Structure 1
Amino acid sequence: MNANTRTDDLVERAAEIVPVLRKHAAWGEENRRLHDEVVAAMADADVLRLRVPARFGGHEADMRTVVAVLSELGRGDGSAAWVAAVWAISTWMVGMFPEQAQEEVFADPDVRVAGILSPSATAVPVDGGVVVDGRWGFNSGALHSRWNTNAALLTPPDGPPQPVSLLIPLADLEVVDDWRTSGLCASGSVTTVAKGLFVPQHRVLAMGPVIAGVHENQLGDAPSVYRTPFMPMACATIGAPAVGLARAAEEAFFERLPGRKITYTSYASQAEAPVTHLTVARARMLADESAFHAERVAAVLDEKSGRGDEWTVEERARARLDLGSAVLRAKESVELLSTAAGGSSVYTDVPVHRVVRDIQTIGLHAILHPDTNFELYGRVLCGLEPHTPYV
């Protein structure tokens, strides 16, 4: 099976479970977690193995495939696509850890790994590992995960603190059920807490080299999907659900269009009104622009990692630009269609406004916020240093 055949097959499998995701989207929003049938459907579609190493039974998929699959899931449910994206990033991260840790996690190739990038905990070195204290909010997918890749600041006695990633079983963490939000409700992005938790050394990974793209456990003949900096990979992955949400809004709008009129006007059919024609054309253009940016960063990732090329600062910053642009254009597309959907669309059984809430929530994420990403790229274009290590 060549790469294109594998991509088409995985995308087709993702498309086939879109009805399952849509069926349970309202339940997930009400219960603040994914329905078990949604998680099972994603496992059956091989979505959970996208970034699992091939030697452990995974697909080791390239970024074009990852973006295409997650975009399809976004057509079904924003929360499901978001959680799948987090699982894909965190699974990739496990591939950076020593072999002993990988063998522990990937003993089940359908394993679900949640993850947090912000180092909101401390790790103190002790014999054989570290002791961790702290909490991690916005821990998407944790309720359905077995492992967590959580970031902390390692505080050695003879040097400055440094960020590390910790591979922790969810069973070792306290879970705080605090996810009550207006969007991405079903993502179950709860808070997890560690109190004096020992983590063995083989499950501690320095984050600096991973962010820089110099992975000490993935040198030499490592698969190309692991020869890339963290942030461009994460940008391509986490932007894909926004692309799917723009398509979901369009499909929801056209599903309700036949037979609808525009109240208090002479239009007996909304489909015949010029304002509708202008709206759907603009919305489609914006959705296509969202897809362009997500697909561009994915293509660059595949090409550069395949050749083993180094990344310039501008190329890294442009990955953040593409992420912000994908989210912004998707949000604009969705909002156009939600406005045109009319007053009856505010009822909870009409999906377009759930899509609105989901895309608005995505756009508020610190890494995805368009203005933050545009400012970063503009700084680099003006010859200034990035104001963040996450580039």
Structure 2
Amino acid sequence: MSSNNTSQIAAASALGRLSPVANAPSLESIVAAATQLVPLLREQGQQTEINRRLSEEMSRRFEEAGFYRLMQPARYGGYEYGFTAMMDLISEIGRGCASSAWAAALGVIHNWLLALFPEQAQDDVWGPTPNALMCGSYAPVTMAEPTEGGWLIQGKWKFASNVDNSQWAVLGVQFPPAEKGAPPGAGFVVVPRREWTIEDDWFVAGQAGTGSKTVVIGKPSFVPAHRRLLFPEAASGKAPGTAVNTNPVYTIPFLAAMPVCLASPLLGAAQGAIDVFVDMCGSRVTRGGAGGGGNRLSGFSHVQSRLAGAAAAVDAARLVLDRDTSEVEHTVSAGNAISVDKRIRNRRGHAYSAKLCHGAIQDLFTTVGASGLTLDQPIQRIWRDGNMIAQHITLNWDAVSTMAGQQMLGLEPKGAY
């Protein structure tokens, strides 16, 4: 590789990690704040799981550190960093607690998503409360009813992560077709906390601390027309919000980079598993059985090999995510569109990175033995959290790889890209 190509790649990689906002804190300082929280997040991981939510105190710490402002528009006090910066931050939080990282990731990404809505919707949310948080449930599970000035919606939306700490909800809705005989159109609406209640139904084997409960709107609720963003608008790179938020980061098509926010907690969790594994192997001495008694776990060759393999998998996952996401940021910064080939290539990268991290966690967990099974051991929680994240349909390898293979074979790709 020539030095010129190397410098071009370095420049592309740096785009999303540089804030265009005067006096914004450096990414290094923001990530350093996350690093300082890792021991506390790990220490509180079991209690976070028992509580089934991110605590108000930890959410406040995230807010004070500026995490939620990472991708928020500058005119509301945000820093306008890109998706690569988000990956750096969320994966670092994930080293301490995957559930907490997931909750933080959704808080960050919804501030980016709201920036795609019409200006009035942004003012509704951030005008009175610039630090307002939003949960979200994207599946368009209900049909909106047209009414004067907007829409009426009613229903239940599951899996709204970090709902307990949120003042607004981003909800998926179907809209009646504009023309007779046309199919309905799907999109998002934003709804304030006073219009919905929380159904406490999040009882799960992994990622329990995300608080991904159900948003309930029990009677028809009015949503002004300006609080709607259609799915095609979010995917177009020319959403209504780009008229006022001119940073190219807001022209990135929704699925070309957004799934990075879901892969990043798993990336961090896998690194956290490595950290915990190294600590366990350094101190643990075998009690007997097949391995004999009095031997350090770190002295076994299969332990050494599993650790090296896990580290290589996490390294590879990070490189894939960084390459794909950096390229998206570089492309839109140059004023170019993201092709379908690149969108699907990126979706493949999101899912394969998750597969690599999931495999790394699995390999380490199967090596630590019975000592890793107690509920106060972080590695068993990382294992359960990692399995949960890898099952998410956005990262599910079977679903995404099929779509990628269809594209490579010249078939119509069936999936979300």
TM-score over 0.5 for the pair: yes
Deviation per CA, 1:234-283: give whole Å up to 9, x if none.
12222111110111101111112223134412361111111111111111
Report if aligned partners of 2:328, 2:338 keep a CA contact under 8 Å in 1: no
Report if aligned partners of 2:132, 2:167 keep a CA contact under 8 Å in 1: yes
In the alignment, does 2:50 pair up with 1:26? no
Partner Cα separation in structure 2 for residue 385 and residue 158 of structure 1: 26
Q: Name the structure 2 match of 1:331.
A: 358
Q: Name the structure 2 match of 1:240.
A: 264
Q: Name the structure 2 match of 1:269.
A: 296
Secondary structure at the counterpart of residue 413 of structure 2: coil
Which of 171, 186, 200 is the equivalent residue of 1:177? 200
Partner Cα separation in structure 2 for residue 344 and residue 286 of structure 1: 24
**1:157, distance to aligned residue in structure 2 (A):** 7.0
Q: What amino acid does structure 1 have at the position aligned with 2:144?
A: A
The range that moved more, 207-216 or 313-322, is 207-216
Partner Cα separation in structure 2 for residue 217 and residue 112 of structure 1: 18
Identity of aligned residues (%): 28
Report the number of matched residues: 389
Deviation per CA, 1:98-137: give whole Å up to 9, x if none.
1111112123332211112211121111101100022111
Partner Cα separation in structure 1 for residue 347 and residue 117 of structure 2: 25
Report if aligned partners of 1:86, 1:140 keep a CA contact under 8 Å in 2: yes
Q: Name the structure 2 match of 1:231.
A: 255
Q: Name the structure 2 match of 1:88.
A: 108
Alignment TM-score, normalising by the size of structure 2: 0.90
Q: Name the structure 2 match of 1:67.
A: 87
Q: Name the structure 1 match of 2:7.
A: none
**1:217, distance to aligned residue in structure 2 (A):** 3.0
Report if aligned partners of 1:87, 1:115 keep a CA contact under 8 Å in 2: no
Q: Name the structure 2 match of 1:294.
A: 321
Q: What amino acid does structure 2 have at the position aligned with 1:342?
A: G
Instruction: Label 1:372 to 1:215 Cα distance change in 2 as closer, same or farther (>3 A).
Output: same
Q: Name the structure 2 match of 1:250.
A: 274
Report if aligned partners of 1:117, 1:151 keep a CA contact under 8 Å in 2: yes
**1:221, distance to aligned residue in structure 2 (A):** 7.4
Which of 22, 25, 45 is the equivalent residue of 2:65? 45
**1:213, distance to aligned residue in structure 2 (A):** 2.3
Q: What amino acid does structure 1 have at the position aligned with 2:278?
A: F
**1:154, distance to aligned residue in structure 2 (A):** 0.6
**1:214, distance to aligned residue in structure 2 (A):** 2.6
Which of 313, 327, 336 is the equivalent residue of 1:309? 336
Q: Name the structure 1 match of 2:174.
A: 153
Instruction: Label 1:308 to 1:220 Cα distance change in 2 as closer, same or farther (>3 A).
Output: farther
Secondary structure at the counterpart of residue 154 of structure 2: strand
**1:219, distance to aligned residue in structure 2 (A):** 4.3
Instruction: Label 1:171 to 1:25 Cα distance change in 2 as closer, same or farther (>3 A).
Output: farther
Partner Cα separation in structure 2 for residue 199 and residue 220 of structure 1: 22
In the alignment, does 2:363 pair up with 1:363? no
Deviation per CA, 1:168-198: give whole Å up to 9, x if none.
0122112110000000001000011223111
Partner Cα separation in structure 1 for residue 410 and residue 244 of structure 2: 34
**1:164, distance to aligned residue in structure 2 (A):** 1.8
**1:56, distance to aligned residue in structure 2 (A):** 0.9
Q: Name the structure 2 match of 1:202.
A: 226
Instruction: Label 1:71 to 1:52 Cα distance change in 2 as closer, same or farther (>3 A).
Output: same
**1:209, distance to aligned residue in structure 2 (A):** 1.6
**1:19, distance to aligned residue in structure 2 (A):** 2.2
Which of 111, 119, 123 is the equivalent residue of 2:144? 123
Alignment TM-score, normalising by the size of structure 1: 0.95
Instruction: Label 1:323 to 1:111 Cα distance change in 2 as closer, same or farther (>3 A).
Output: same
Partner Cα separation in structure 1 for residue 348 and residue 154 of structure 2: 34
Q: Name the structure 2 match of 1:104.
A: 124
Secondary structure at the counterpart of residue 130 of structure 1: strand
Q: What amino acid does structure 1 have at the position aligned with 2:97?
A: D
Report if aligned partners of 2:72, 2:80 keep a CA contact under 8 Å in 1: yes
In the alignment, does 2:279 pair up with 1:279? no
Secondary structure at the counterpart of residue 149 of structure 1: strand
Report if aligned partners of 1:183, 1:354 keep a CA contact under 8 Å in 2: yes
Instruction: Label 1:187 to 1:8 Cα distance change in 2 as closer, same or farther (>3 A).
Output: same
Partner Cα separation in structure 2 for residue 207 and residue 157 of structure 1: 15
Secondary structure at the counterpart of residue 214 of structure 2: strand
Q: What amino acid does structure 2 have at the position aligned with 1:150?
A: L
Partner Cα separation in structure 2 for residue 226 and residue 26 of structure 1: 37
Gaps of 5+ in 2: 1-16, 20-24
Deviation per CA, 1:54-112: give whole Å up to 9, x if none.
11110111111110000001001101111111122221111011111111212333221
Gaps of 5+ in 1: none
Partner Cα separation in structure 1 for residue 85 and residue 178 of structure 2: 44
Partner Cα separation in structure 2 for residue 382 and residue 125 of structure 1: 42
Secondary structure at the counterpart of residue 190 of structure 2: strand
Q: What amino acid does structure 2 have at the position aligned with 1:50?
A: L
Pairwise CA RMSD: 1.7
Q: What amino acid does structure 2 have at the position aligned with 1:249?
A: A
Report if aligned partners of 2:332, 2:338 keep a CA contact under 8 Å in 1: no
Partner Cα separation in structure 2 for residue 62 and residue 204 of structure 1: 24
Which of 211, 216, 222 is the equivalent residue of 2:235? 211
